[in-house]
Amino acid sequence: MYRTRIAAGVLAAAVATGAAACSSNDDGKDGGTAAAPASSAAPATTAGGAPSGGQPFGPGCSAVPASGKGSFSGMSTDPVATAASNNPVLSTLVTAVKKAGLVDTLNSAKNITVFAPTNDAFNKIPKATLDKVLSDKKTLTGILTYHVVGQPITPSGLSSGDFKTLNGAMLKTSGSGESFTIGDNAKVVCGDVHTANATVYIIDSVLMPPK
């Protein structure tokens, strides 16, 4: 998550609003919403090499609490905004979602996918820039909604995707196995995390909506 522009700075608030009204034209995005507890075992893979679903994958998963409400099993029982608020690696994102007034919208959405920037991603943005965006609700909302797709997306669906976000703009994804790129350069550091109403991919950079 590396951007100097205001838009980039807040993009990271990816966990944004979950309106289930969005649609995508990519195939293979029918992931379920049942979460699986964290495990030390390597995730199962499909014939194409992508994780088969049901188990989080990626180097960043080690930063997620092993137990409690912020753990994988804990998050699986709460709607996405609530689940994120219990996860310490997503606290800045949660702050952005609250400032945009999107908590209820996000929690009430059904079967969405959220690309959620980590705290480290936000830390790469100049504080003055981030503070300015966080104080501009309209701009913040536009950025946050670019991080949400109104349908579930499985890991295999990310391999060559072109999804319509709640922002209205399209978001491309690519990759294979456990290595996926979202947008221009955001990497999935912990993917296929499930909450009660969303599939979450934790990413290492903020996303910039196209102008």
Percent with pLDDT over 90 in the chain: 65
**44 or 63, higher pLDDT:** 63
Q: pLDDT of 116-169, one tens digit each?
A: 999 999 888 889 988 998 999 999 999 999 999 999 999 999 999 999 999 999
Residues comprising the chain, all counted: 211
Percent of the chain with pLDDT over 70: 74
Please tell me the predicted confidence (pLDDT) of residue 29.
Answer: 39
Helices (H), 37-195: 72-75, 80-85, 91-99, 103-108, 119-123, 127-134, 137-145
In angstroms, rounded to a whole number, what is the distance separating the alpha carbons of residues 136 and 74?
Answer: 32
| Mean pLDDT for the stretch of residues 1-26 | 37
Which of the given ranges, 14-23, 34-43, 94-103, 123-132, has the highest pLDDT on average?
94-103
* 130 contact partners, CB below 8 Å, separation of at least 6: 9, 10, 122
Query: What distance separates the 2 farthest-apart alpha carbons in the chain?
Result: 47
CA distance 140 to 17: 11
Residues in a beta bridge with 187 = 181
pLDDT reported for residue 129: 87
21 vs 205: which has the higher pLDDT: 205
Q: Which helix (H) or strand (E) holds 10?
A: helix 6-11
- If one compares 181 and 29, the residue with the highest pLDDT of the two is 181
Long-range CB contact pairs, 173-182, < 8 A, 24+ = 176/48, 176/49, 176/50, 177/45, 177/49, 177/50, 177/51, 178/43, 178/50, 178/51, 178/57, 178/58, 180/155, 182/115, 182/158, 182/207
Token duo for residue 145: 């909604």
Query: Residue 18: what pLDDT?
Result: 37
Residues 13-25 have a mean pLDDT of 37
Read off the pTM: 0.75
What pLDDT was estimated at residue 122? 87
Highest mean pLDDT among 6-10, 121-125, 136-140, 206-210: 136-140
Assess whether pLDDT exceeds 80 at residue 195: yes
Short-list 142, 153, 74, 147, CA closest to 114? 147
Torsion of CA 167, 172, 174, 178, to 10 degrees: 0
Q: Kindly state the average pLDDT of the residues 15-22.
A: 36
- Higher pLDDT residue, 154 or 45? 154
Task: Provide the mean pLDDT of the chain.
Answer: 80
Burial of residue 76 (number of CB atoms within 10 Å: 0-12, 13-18, 19+): middle
Q: What pLDDT, on a 0 to 100 scale, did the predictor assign at position 54?
A: 61
The residues spanned by each domain of the chain are: 6-36+50-203
Tell me what the mean pLDDT of segment 21-32 comes to. Answer: 39
**Which CATH superfamily does the domain covering 6-36+50-203 fall into?**
FAS1 domain (2.30.180.10)
Closest C-alpha among 105, 95, 144, 119 to residue 204: 119
